[in-house]
Amino acid sequence: MILGAGLSLARAAAVARVRPPLTSRRASRTPRGPAGRSASGTTTTAMEASTYGEHSVHFASGGQTDADAAVAAAVARAGVPVVLGSKSFTRKAILTEMGLPYRVVVADIDEKAIRMDTPEALVAALAGAKADAIVSRLRNGTAKSVGDVGDDNVTVSNEVWSTRSLLITCDQVVVHEGAIREKPESEAQARLFVRSYGDAPATTVGAVAVTDVLTGERFGPIVDRCSVFFNPIPDDVVDALIAEGTCLHCAGGLMVEHPKMISLTKKTEGSTDALMGLSKASVGELLLRALEKRERC
């Protein structure tokens, strides 16, 4: 059995989904970094005062869980490569935290050409469309790795990577007062977005799918819906986020993991990793389902 150590798929998913909210974690613990390593013993105060980086993601999500480690071990035992169909800094940091090695191949599709009536349908459709585009390129040998393992813009021509991978694709939007928000189109729009989260809660709707490139079978998508409530966001915080620029590449300009936003968080509903764009429980569940199905074939 690929899970090993007596940890079933149901148990792994259950462990991964028992996550305390960000506001209850931040005052009392030193975060674990990727693959169970300590994040240098950094205190909460120092973390909140620091600049944004991978450590911010690991702190916000709480570090590697036992279920994350079980998923990483199952993938390693199966010898199946993982491809992430996203160049999102946060999603890459989350997979690293889980202990999963991966390569990045992006879809480069026209996301604006895909429109749906609900945010759930939209993110599911986009995750599927990204998978279709990347699978095609992996199979015909034209996929490019974009720098996740030191192979910047290198054609993924190795047969193991190109045809035997499990591909993770995702999409996320923010819903605010009934309106769907994607990535800001300008600094002015990003400024409007960020400031508004102090007035009304932001809800993230994110989808993740896993596609077996070898067989073409798709697992998921799983759609996660989470919310975050902030205190009023001061102008100096808005200015700092816009000047830094990372929020311009995030759905709705929302960065719940940013040190300047953590201190303003009143409460969250749902897992913080899902709020950040990739639910570890969901992606772990789908990877395990894909591995089990491949083993049976």
Place of tokens 């400024």: 191
pTM: 0.81
Residue-range domains of the chain with CATH: 9-296 (3.90.950.10)
Nearest alpha-carbon partner for 288 in 92, 14, 36:
14
Amino acid of residue 89: F
Sequence length of the chain is 297
pLDDT tens track of the chain, all 297 residues?
A: 333 433 444 444 444 444 444 443 333 333 344 443 333 333 333 333 446 788 888 888 889 999 999 999 999 999 999 999 999 999 999 999 999 999 999 998 999 899 999 999 999 999 999 999 999 988 888 777 775 443 433 444 455 566 889 999 999 999 999 999 999 999 999 999 999 999 999 999 999 999 999 999 999 999 999 999 999 999 999 999 999 999 999 999 999 999 999 999 999 999 999 999 999 999 999 999 999 998 887
Q: How far apart are CA 254 and CA 246, in angstroms?
A: 10
The Cα-based distances of 263 to 49, 96, 199, 216, 234 in angstroms read 10, 25, 16, 44, 12
pLDDT at 27: 32
pLDDT at 272: 93
pLDDT at 50: 45
Q: How far apart are CA 229 and CA 252, in angstroms?
A: 14
User: Is 171 labeled as catalytic in the residue annotation?
Assistant: yes
Out of 66, 132, 151, 171, the active site residue is: 171
pLDDT at 53: 80
pLDDT at 51: 67
**CB-based contacts of 43: which residues, under 8 Å, 6+ apart?**
30
